[in-house]
Amino acid sequence: MHSVLVTARIFGQISDQAFDVFRKNGLKVVPNPYRGKKLSEIELIELIGGVDALVSGLDQVTAKVIGASDQLKVISMFGTGVDHIDVKAATEKGIVVTNTPAVNSDAVADMTFALMLAIARRIPFAFDQIKEQKWPLIIGVEVCNKTLGLIGLGQIGKRVALRAAGFNMKILANKRFRDEPFINEKKIKLVPLNQLLRESDFVSIHVPLTPETRDLIGPDQFEIMQPTACLINTARGGIVDESALYDALKSGKIAGAAFDVLKEEPLKERRLLELENFILTPHISAFTREAIEKTEKLSAQNVVDVLKGHHCPNIINPEAENR
């Protein structure tokens, strides 16, 4: 009987449907004594032996963790981004890595717009003032009819563009791989990154964290942006240089920023929280009931497909199958 270790914190908390997928396919779920928390490298190494499959959340699945596994065949990411998984080490050991693309795209797109509206109208700051028994006049800016720059036009970026159309926003995008029909239909203008930053009232990030995108937005990029612009990030924290972000917000180089992700989570460096023009949420963009249920079922099905030798369309390192 194949065994599965589940470390994704939210997995199974909404319903038992995903666990039913395992049971119906004869897979044994290994007890996780740390359920509900992000596991450290040491904790993962402690549990990974004798396991055929790992359903991972944001745990650091390092080369050491992979090296400690003696029969691991598949790492199923509960979500899309795999920057915390050493895919190279997994591939070298013949371990397949899968993810769950698109299933949480609407949830993240909704959150992107929630953050955009919140920073534009200074909603958290206004609420904080009321809690202090104040009733101030707070002036915000409109989102309607503004220019939105999308850094990344994948599944999430496209859904943000659809929502932006309802606000009659002009949409700029920076992306190498073009979906011409979508771009033409939605009248999206493709421009170089610097032009996007220079012309956008709101800039929203929707690219994965890779060596090429790490610190993509830093001091030079903030110098280009308008002083009235706001930066939204629901992708990955490492894409933005947070020290440069603090300086840009503090000095007024940009008007505001609203993030759901940081380079280091939970937050340790608290300088950003001292700023009235910064909003932070605890990496919850993908966490809606609907998105969680879909992600659970797909991440479980990915495990079943790989272990049973069925076709799995969500493998990100197909070369591992030939090892």
Residues forming the active site: 236, 265, 283
- The distance of Cα 189 from the centroid of its chain, to the nearest Å, equals 24
Find out whether 69 and 45 touch, Cβ atoms under 8 Å: no
> Which residues make Cβ contacts (< 8 Å) with residue 139, sequence separation at least 6?
none
DSSP structure string for 189-219: EE--HHHHHHH-SEEEE-----TTTTT-B-H
Whole-angstrom distance, CA of residue 77 vs CA of residue 303: 10
Whole-angstrom distance, CA of residue 249 vs CA of residue 21: 47
Helix (H) or strand (E) holding 179: none
Find out whether 298 and 100 touch, Cβ atoms under 8 Å: yes
| 181 φψ region: left (φ > 0), alpha (ψ -120 to 50), beta (else) | alpha
Whole-angstrom distance, CA of residue 78 vs CA of residue 5: 12
Integer angstrom CA distances of residue 184 from 168, 169, 174, 190: 16, 15, 15, 10
> Which residues make Cβ contacts (< 8 Å) with residue 233, sequence separation at least 6?
204, 205, 239, 240, 257, 258, 259, 260, 261
Q: How many CB atoms lie within 10 A of CB 231?
A: 28
Q: Which residues sit opposite 280 in a β-bridge?
A: 259
Integer angstrom CA distances of residue 278 from 60, 75, 196, 219, 239: 28, 35, 21, 17, 17
- The one-character DSSP state at 182 is H
